[in-house]
A and B are shown apart, each in its own frame.
Chain A
Amino acid sequence: GAGVSQTPSNKVTEKGKYVELRCDPISGHTALYWYRQSLGQGPEFLIYFQGTGAADDSGLPNDRFFAVRPEGSVSTLKIQRTERGDSAVYLCASSPDSYEQYFGPGTRLTVT
C-alpha cells in the first residue's frame, strides 16, 4: 500500500519568506508526527497530532512554526519568516497505534 508522502521533496526559499510543507499519512492512521533532522543528527520531535488536535507541540522551536491537521488526515507544517537555521530535512510520520511510526521521505528545506 501507499506509504507516507511529503511534498515538496525539496524547497529552496529566501530568508524571511513563508513556507508550507505537506504530509499525507497512511490512510487510517490517526496519529501523525513531525520531526526535523539536521545534518549529521538524528530526527528531533516537533509536534504530534491525534486526530485533528495537536496533542503535543512541545518540540516546536518558537512561534514561527505552526502545524495544522484540519480533517484528521493531511497535515501542513508552516514556517513564517524563515531563517537560515531552519534549513533541515523535515520528516513526517504516521502511526495506527501507539507503537511504531512510519516515516515519509522528508522535505529538504534550504533557506538562503
Chain B
Amino acid sequence: AQSVAQPEDQVNVAEGNPLTVKCTYSVSGNPYLFWYVQYPNRGLQFLLKYITGDNLVKGSYGFEAEFNKSQTSFHLKKPSALVSDSALYFCAVRDMNDYKLSFGAGTTVTVRA
C-alpha cells in the first residue's frame, strides 16, 4: 500500500518570503515522488519529481523539493514566493514497481502582496 499525507490544508505567506509545503509518504518499496500544482478550472501541472540520485531536486518556476528517506518526507520549497504561486499543490507517490500515483489531499497556498 502507498499513501501521502499533506498535514496543512492551507499555507499563507507574504510575497517575497520563503514558501514550504509539507509532504510525508508511505510506500512498501523505493518511492518515486512528485509535486503537481492545480490552478482553478485547470488540470494538474507537473512541477518536479524525485526518482533517484541527489536528494534536492529542482523543478519548474523556481520550486525545489528535498527527499528525506529517514523522515519519509518530500517537502516543496521556494525561496521567494510570488502572488502568482497561489494555487492548490498536490504531493504524489508511487512505488518504483508500480504505475499508479497516490495523491495527498492537497494544500492551498495563498501568497499575499
Interface residues of A (CB under 8 A from B): 4, 31, 33, 35, 40-45, 48, 50, 55-56, 58-59, 91, 93, 98-106
Contacts and interface: CB of A to CB of B under 8 A. Distances in A.
Interface residues on B, range: 20 to 34
Interface of B: 4, 32, 34, 36, 41-46, 49, 51, 90, 92, 99-106
B102 A45 contact: yes
Q: Identify whether the interface residues of B are mostly helix, strand, loop, or mixed.
A: strand
Contacts, number: 56
Contacts of A104: 43
A56 B44 contact: no
Contacts of A31: 99
A105 B49 CA distance: 21
